[in-house]
Chain A
């Protein structure tokens, strides 16, 4: 399997505060990787560095072998290869569901309107939101918004999907519908990088689990290792606190 994202010696500082310290890791094509860790451990920042919503202060990020932090690299085109799903959905409030899923295709990928609508409807059907294509974001529930946000990201036909705590802002009864969609995407062989607090879900869908603490990767490996028989004391401590909640 080819390496899609390759991160080397990544550093990120906010002022004097070092959020990421010498982070090294890779995502291979078709792989589902979950990032776990306590709040403030740097996992969201890592995800946001990958699509350059945060600019790293040091290190290198390679995408299909090309260093994206190099001067002159086309960052906008690069971003179209990554689909981002946010904790707070961030649907475009001025557009309806269909508009949310077509604007990027039309304005950035320069697809025709018919093609964009056709593609958007395909993914809206996958997430089960096709009936709501004329609804405005404010008319939808949290779970529905997040499913539309997933369809919006998928409609750009990205190579990697990034999920930044996609269920953390949802009411408990809506978490299931979003996880169901994500599970389906994982089974279909999409490359996914997921920041999550849903341990059961992580255990179930991940090919690999990465545990982060205080800005460093403490442990990574298959879910049955990291989540069931962790090697490091910090991982054990984290799991104990999380699962006993």
Chain B
């Protein structure tokens, strides 16, 4: 039997395990990116609240922001694989037994959140000061300015980075196999172990990972285009105006 025939045979016999693994990887990546983005937006907003006078509230906010900064630095500065071990077995040690999938999701979300926080902060800082001034000048509060004017622009600007993060998460979900989350890597590893066909099984995993990341990238590109809208716009003829004549 040729190599490729063996590959196909292994896939035929274990396709449900492979696809289930791929599904878990995808779900972890998508949910992790969504939760991570929410964390990132929250921290980005907290870090850009203008601090006015010295008051108790200001000190409280500074302290809170310091804690958030610690979180960001810690999660950006350590490998996700190690974070997974610490979170899962650490909680286990204090007798909190978390579902492995949930533990994995928490780790991937916190990890993504740490990166997204920096994207969002950078995104807010890079918005032209005039946008803030104009909305302040019409009487909007800082909160309204953020919600209606700044964050929609930030969301659009960081969309490519978020897409990147999603692709990374699809691939990096594989490290959650260390806490036995049955995602694609874990599934492939068990299939390879039971058939003694390591190269064949992992070739299949490769293809499945690539299909997922490639599809996600394309979808995100389409989404970006849709968000930008068309480059042309309708000119509304107001009643009473003569319709424009051609050829003049």
Contact = CB atoms under 8 A, between A and B. Distances in A.
A84 B134 contact: yes
Given A93-B153, A135-B233, A139-B233, A108 B138 contact: yes
Interface of A, helix, strand, loop or mixed by DSSP: loop
A84 B137 contact: yes
Contacts of A104: 135, 138-140
A109 B138 CA distance: 10
Given A79-B139, A93-B153, A108-B140, A136 B229 contact: yes
Nearest to B137: A84
A108 to B, nearest CB: 4
A90 B235 contact: no
A29 B96 CA distance: 70
Nearest to B233: A135
A94 B149 contact: yes
A134 B152 CA distance: 18
Nearest to B235: A131
Contacts of B149: 92, 94-95, 103
B224 to A, nearest CB: 15
B138 A80 contact: yes
Interface in B43-86: none
Given A84-B134, A130-B236, A136-B229, A94 B140 contact: no
B238 A130 contact: yes
Contacts of A86: 130, 133-134, 137
B144 interface: yes
B53 to A, nearest CB: 11
A131 B237 contact: yes
A77 B134 contact: no
B173 to A, nearest CB: 33
A152 interface: yes
Contacts, number: 82
Contact of B139 (A53, A108, A125): A108
B interface residue count range (under 10 / 10 to 19 / 20 to 34 / 35 or more): 20 to 34
Contacts of A125: 238
Given A90-B131, A139-B231, A77 B139 contact: yes
A136 to B, nearest CB: 7
Contact of A108 (B134, B144, B229, B231): B144
A131 B148 CA distance: 24
B236 A134 contact: yes
Contacts of B153: 93-94
Interface in A61-119: 76-77, 79-80, 82, 84, 86, 88-96, 103-104, 107-109
Interface residues of A, number: 35
Interface in B208-248: 229, 231, 233-238, 241
B234 A134 contact: yes
Contacts of B130: 86, 88-90
A53 B128 contact: no
B156 interface: yes
Interface in A150-198: 152-153, 156
Nearest to A140: B233
B136 A53 contact: yes
A89 B140 CA distance: 17
B14 interface: no
Contacts of B139: 76-77, 79-80, 104, 108-109, 156
B141 interface: yes
Contacts of B237: 131
Contacts of A93: 131, 153
B238 A79 contact: no
B238 A131 contact: yes
Given A79-B138, A90-B128, A107 B148 contact: yes
B233 A156 contact: no
Nearest 3 CB-CB pairings of A with B = A90-B130, A104-B138, A90-B134
Interface of B: 128, 130-131, 133-141, 144, 148-149, 152-153, 156, 229, 231, 233-238, 241
